Structure 1
Amino acid sequence: MSAIIGITMGDPAGVGPEITVRAVAEMDDAGRERTRIYGHRATLEAAARATGVSLDLDALVIDFEIEGGALPWGKLDARAGDAAYRFIAGAVTDALDDAIGCIVTAPINKEALNLAGHHYDGHTGMLAALTGQKSAFMLLASERLKVIHVSTHVSLKTAIDRATPARILDTIRAGNDHLKRIGYEKPRIAVAGINPHCGESGLFGTEDDQQIVPAVDMARAEGIDVTGPISADTVYHRAYNGAFDLVVAQYHDQGHIPIKLVAFDTAVNVSLGLPIDRTSVDHGTAFDIAGTGKANHTNMNAAIAYARRLAAGSK
C-alpha cells in the first residue's frame, strides 16, 4: 500500500482550500513528501495568501482546470461543484491504482455538486459509485465515541425503511472489521434502537423487534460482540463512558448529533465498505467565512492523522 495520502481540495468557493494549505504547511518535509493535493493551484495560492501561510506547491499539487479560473469565495457555483467532483474522481483513480494509500476529502457543497449534474447525496455515495460499489458506510470516529450509520442522507421515513435486518447486519460487520483493523481485538458494539425506548414491546412501534433484533442475533451467531437494540437516549452516554467501542446509529441525526456535541472539531468521517480508504473532515464548506482566513483546520489535521494510520497499513 502506498504511504502517500491524497487530499482533495473540496468546493473551490468554500473553506476547503484554506484548511488544506494550513494543514499541509504545518507538516514536516517528510510529511509533505507523502502528500498530494488534488485541486486548483490558483485557488490554493489564493488560500495561502488569505491564511498567511508560506507553502511551495510545486511538488504537491495535481492541478485541475476550472472554467473561469479561481472562483469567488463563498458563492454557490455549478463550476465549483463540477471541479470538486473532478478532484475526487482523480483521487479515486489514483487510489485504485495504489498511487496513493488514502484519500482525505475537504468539504463539498451538495447543491453545487448537483447543479453541475453530479447527482449524489454526498461524498460517501459518490465514492461508492466511483468504485463500483452498491453502497458504503459512514463512520464518525473520535477518541471516546465512534458511530457508524445504517443510512445517512435520506429522509427519516426512508431511513426507517432502509433499516432492514440485512443492512443492519452489514453495518455491524463493517464496523467490527474496521475496529479490528485499527487495533481492537474484540470490538464491543452497541446497536441503537429506532423508536423511543426501542418500541416499548410494541407500544411505540414494532420496527426494533422486527428489524434490529434479527440482525443482532445473526451478528452474534457470527461471533461478533454486539448488544441491542439499546434505547438511543442512553446508548451514546454509555459508549462515551467506555461501555462500548462503537455505536450503530440507524439514521443520520441519531449518529451525528451526539458525536458533534462531544467532538465537533476532532471527529473524523471514515468511509467503509470500499476498495479504497477515505477519511474526511466532519464539517461543511462554511461559505460565510470562506476566503477570510478564519477557518479552523483542527478537523483536517485529525482526518490527515487518521489517513496516515490507514495508509501505513494499520491492522
Structure 2
Amino acid sequence: MNAIAKPASPRPRIALALGDPAGIGPEIALKAALDPRVRAACRPVLVGDRGALERHAQACGLAAPLAVVGTAAEEVGEDRIALIDLDQFREEPLRLGEIQAVHGKAAVEAAAVAIRAAMAGEVEAVAACPQTEFAIQAAGIAFDGYPTFVARCTGTPEEDAFLMLCFDNKRIVHTTLHVGLRQAIDLVTPGRVLRVLEATQAVLVKLGVAEPRIAVSGLNPHASEHGMFGNEEATIIEPAMERARARGIRCEGPFGADTMFQKPDYDAFVVMVHDQGHLAAKLLATNRTAGMTIGTPVLFSSVAHGSALEIAGQNKASPEAVVEALLRLSGAAIRARAAA
C-alpha cells in the first residue's frame, strides 16, 4: 500500500460511510482513504464500526492507522485516518459474506450519520460504499437507493432527488431509478423531466461547467421515430424540454438511448429509466463509476457497483469507484467553497 501523501493545499473534509460491513465496503473505504490521490485532494473521515474495519484490514493485510474521533470536524494527524466509531456489533457478530439484518442496519446508520455531519457543517461532502438492499430489507428499513434516502435525511422532496453516474468525462442522470418499469413509465411526466433538467443544470454549474449542454433521451425505441413507436416524446419529453429552454437550459433531443452516448460535446446525458443509463455505465466503466445524488443540499456520492459479498475479506476489491467519488466530491466542494 502506498504511503500517505502530504497535502499540497487546504482540502475539503469528506465523510465516507463504510456501507455493508459484510461486503467489500470497509476494504475499499480503507484502500481509498490510504490512496495518495485521495489524501492529496481531501481529508476523509470514515464512518462505521471500528471492529469491522479492523477485521477487514487484518484479513486483507492492510495498514489501518485509525484515530477515533467524536465528531467529523475533529482534526487528526496526517499519519492517521479519522474514524467515527458507531460500535454496531455489540449484540450480534459480524458475519463476512452473509446477508444479515444487522449488516443492513449498520450500512444505513453509517450513511445517516455521515449525512448529518454534512448538514451540521462538519464535512463538506459525503461518500458511501455499497450497501446490500436485501440486508436492509431484512432489517425492516424502507430503502430504494441512496438518492431518495439522502432526500429523506435532508428534508428534500423525494421527487427532487436524482442519480448522476460519473465516469471519465461522462455524466448520466436518471429521471427514474429503482422502481418497476411500468411505474417508471408513469413517473415520466413533464414536471419530472423539467425537474431533472433543472437539477442537472444546477450541479453542472456547481461542478465548474460554465454553459452546460445536455442531451436528453427518449423513452421509446429510437425516441419513437416521430410517433411510430409511441408518443411520450411528443407529449411529455419535448414540452418539458421547451420549458427548460425557456429557463436558459441548453438541452437537445430527445435522442434514441442506444445511440445517444456516442454524441460528442455534451456535458451530461439525461435518460428516462434505470437501464438506459446503467447499461452504458457498467459496460464502459466496470467497477469504477461513481453515483452522485443531485437535487439535495448535501454533496453526496456512492458507487455504482454492489457489495460483492463473495469476495469480502479477500483483498480482491478495487477501490477505484470510491476514489472516483471522493475526487469528484473534492473538486465540487472546493468550487462550492470558492463560490460562497
Scaled to the shorter chain, the TM-score interval is: over 0.9
| 2:285 equivalent in structure 1 | 263
Conserved in 1, the CA contact under 8 Å of 2:11 and 2:330?
no
| 1:310 equivalent in structure 2 | 332
Conserved in 2, the CA contact under 8 Å of 1:188 and 1:246?
yes
Conserved in 2, the CA contact under 8 Å of 1:266 and 1:302?
yes
| 2:3 equivalent in structure 1 | none
* Amino acid in structure 1 at the alignment position of 2:241: V
CA RMSD of aligned residues (A): 1.9
Selected match of 2:12 from 3, 24, 31: 3
Aligned pairs for 1:124-163 (under 5 A) are 124-135=147-158, 136-163=161-188
Tell me, which stretches of 5 or more residues in structure 1 are unaligned? none
Selected match of 1:95 from 102, 118, 140: 118
Question: Matches of 1:293 and 1:83 in 2, distance apart?
Answer: 21
What's the TM-score, normalizing by structure 1? 0.94
| Cα shift at 1:138 | 0.2
SS in 2 for 1:232: coil
Conserved in 2, the CA contact under 8 Å of 1:22 and 1:48?
no
| 1:56 equivalent in structure 2 | 65
* Amino acid in structure 1 at the alignment position of 2:109: R
Tell me, which stretches of 5 or more residues in structure 2 are unaligned? 1-9, 69-81
Question: Matches of 2:52 and 2:162 in 1, distance apart?
Answer: 31
Could you give the per-residue CA deviations for residues 288-315 of structure 1, whole angstroms, max 9, x where no partner exists? 1111111111111111111211222346
Question: Matches of 2:269 and 2:96 in 1, distance apart?
Answer: 37
| Cα shift at 1:223 | 1.6
| Cα shift at 1:109 | 0.7
Conserved in 1, the CA contact under 8 Å of 2:11 and 2:42?
no
| 1:215 equivalent in structure 2 | 240
| Cα shift at 1:197 | 1.8
Question: Matches of 1:236 and 1:103 in 2, distance apart?
Answer: 28
Could you give the per-residue CA deviations for residues 242-288 of structure 1, whole angstroms, max 9, x where no partner exists? 23221111010101111221122332110101111111221110011
* Amino acid in structure 2 at the alignment position of 1:21: L
* Amino acid in structure 2 at the alignment position of 1:139: M
| Cα shift at 1:29 | 10
Is 1:110 the counterpart of 2:129? The answer is: no
Using a 3 Å threshold, how does the CA distance of structure 1 residues 256 and 33 change in structure 2: closer, same or farther?
Answer: closer
* More displaced 10-residue stretch of structure 1: 258-267 or 192-201: 258-267
* Amino acid in structure 2 at the alignment position of 1:190: A
What's the TM-score, normalizing by structure 2? 0.87
Is 1:206 the counterpart of 2:231? The answer is: yes
| 2:210 equivalent in structure 1 | 185
| 2:276 equivalent in structure 1 | 254
| Cα shift at 1:113 | 0.9
Question: Matches of 1:200 and 1:25 in 2, distance apart?
Answer: 50
Could you give the per-residue CA deviations for residues 197-227 of structure 1, whole angstroms, max 9, x where no partner exists? 2222322111111110101111111121111
SS in 1 for 2:335: coil
Conserved in 2, the CA contact under 8 Å of 1:22 and 1:51?
no
Is 1:274 the counterpart of 2:296? The answer is: yes
Conserved in 1, the CA contact under 8 Å of 2:92 and 2:102?
no
| 2:73 equivalent in structure 1 | none
Using a 3 Å threshold, how does the CA distance of structure 1 residues 251 and 32 change in structure 2: closer, same or farther?
Answer: closer
SS in 1 for 2:259: helix
Conserved in 1, the CA contact under 8 Å of 2:11 and 2:43?
no
Percent of aligned pairs with the same amino acid: 35
Conserved in 2, the CA contact under 8 Å of 1:13 and 1:80?
yes
* Amino acid in structure 2 at the alignment position of 1:55: A
Question: Matches of 2:141 and 2:255 in 1, distance apart?
Answer: 38
| 1:83 equivalent in structure 2 | 106
